[in-house]
Amino acid sequence: TRPEIAYFGAGPASLPTAVLEEAAASLLNHLNTGLGIAEHSHRSALANDVLRDTTNRLKELLEVPEGYSVIFMQGGGTTQFSAVPYNLFSHFAKRVLTEENNDIEKTKARLQKAKAEYVLTGGWSSKACTEAKRLVGEEKVQVIANAKDVNGGKWGDIPAAESWNLVKEGEGESVYTYYCDNETVDGVEFTGVPQVPEGRYVVADMSSNILSRKVDVSKFALIYAGAQKNVGTAGLTILIIRDDILQTQCNDTELRSLGLPLPPIMLHYPTLTANNSLYNTLPIFEVYICGLVMKKLLETGGLGAMQASADRKASKIYALLDKYENLFKVVPKKAVRSRMNICFRIEGEGLEGKFVKGGEERGLLGLKGHRSVGGIRISNYNSITEEQVDKLTAYIEEFAKSAT
């Protein structure tokens, strides 16, 4: 039964039972209207309330400053791998066009040397980078750091920001600087916002650690996150975007003249914000669930409390893995260990399978690593309780004792 189970899957992830109970009731009969929330029109006043409340809660939790907008989109984090280059190149080109008094040739010349900068720290940032290259061309993308270069050809480290090979003044211009704050598959997390030169347009994928700690939003041009790990269910992506990017964009004629790709309308951020995220039918039920999760976070101490809890839970698990370091090999280097996705290998023939199976017998589910890398992965998202972690650590200790 549900109370007997703890689910450590990486996403979709478990959600607080109280949230699901409230959502389930709303699915049948939302606010005594006799209709379920997924049946009401996405343009109804009810749906608007859900959008407004969820946006406000997100802004309150993350202390989003003036000058930023929230967008709800579909298509998961992966869709943003495409949406980011479309919108940010268009924004950059429009700025240059304006500076060059709408001279297309001069703008083209500057665009030729302009690059999106990507920091590669794992599978997700790599995929984002590959997609950017597909859409705008290899020559417009510069890998400014690759963790594999500093970690013997494997993921598991984050090159220090001081070492990043940023586009240098005189050689070209930076369109944006992209990184993934927490690499879900590889268990690597930034400890804070990396220091980049003033004026850079920093874009971060926070799909697997959003709302698990405080973030200085003012340092970012764009933050995005798929909802299905720390916030809600699959099907929704949350964006926090600086308004200048929305306000300053090339039109289609300009993009064509400059040889830049035209974004599909559903990926065109200004169209989405102009329509309050309702250019098409948004799944309001998914937004509602996110809103309920956010409400609960606000009631239980906000992101300061979540951060403390995530640190406490992750420390307990890592301490135990380190205690039995001959058996458990944590994948990433110590300084960049993720608090959200704890990835390790178990030394010894068949022991990983045994660990997963033993976990299942005890109601500890979702411990298997990502299919591309294997191993064990414990996802320690917001909804995982301290009691669940205690149950898990008791099992890890028991397993370690029997295996050593």
CB of 77 vs ligand PMP, minimal distance in Å: 3
Nearer to ligand PMP, 76 or 375 (CB): 76
CB of 76 vs ligand PMP, minimal distance in Å: 2
Q: Which of 157, 181, 186, 205 is catalytic?
A: 205
Closest-approach residue to ligand PMP (CB): 76
Amino acid making up residue 142: Q
Nearer to ligand PMP, 178 or 328 (CB): 178
Nearer to ligand PMP, 89 or 124 (CB): 124
Q: Which of 140, 229, 313, 368 is catalytic?
A: 229
Please, where are the H alpha helices in 73-192?
76-99, 104-112, 123-136, 147-150
Helix-helix angle 386-403:351-361, to 10 degrees: 140
Q: Any catalytic annotation for residue 53?
A: no
CB-CB neighbours of 129 under 10 Å: 23
Q: Which of 124, 140, 164, 368 is catalytic?
A: 124
Nearer to ligand PMP, 156 or 250 (CB): 156
The helix, strand and coil proportions of the chain, stated in percent and rounded to the nearest 5, come to 45, 15, 40
CB of 229 vs ligand PMP, minimal distance in Å: 7
CB of 98 vs ligand PMP, minimal distance in Å: 33
Residues 6 or more apart from 387 whose CB is under 8 A from it? none
Nearer to ligand PMP, 58 or 93 (CB): 58
CB of 93 vs ligand PMP, minimal distance in Å: 26
Which residues in 107-128 are b (16+ Cβ under 10 Å) and which e?
bbebbeebbbbbbbbbbbbbbb
Nearer to ligand PMP, 72 or 395 (CB): 72
Can you give the C-alpha Rg of the chain in angstroms? 22
CB of 183 vs ligand PMP, minimal distance in Å: 6
Q: Any catalytic annotation for residue 205?
A: yes
Using the Cα atoms of residue 251, residue 257, residue 261 and residue 262 in order, give the sign of their dihedral. Answer: positive
Rounded CA gap, 391 and 362, in Å? Answer: 9
94 exposed, middle or buried (CB, 10 Å; 0-12, 13-18, 19+)?
Answer: buried
Question: By the criterion CB under 6 A, which residues form the site for ligand PMP?
Answer: 11, 76-78, 124, 180, 184, 205, 207-208, 226
Q: Any catalytic annotation for residue 113?
A: no
Rounded CA gap, 368 and 350, in Å? Answer: 13
Q: Are strands 237-242 and 68-73 parallel, antiparallel or unpaired?
A: antiparallel
Residues annotated catalytic, as ranges: 124, 205, 229
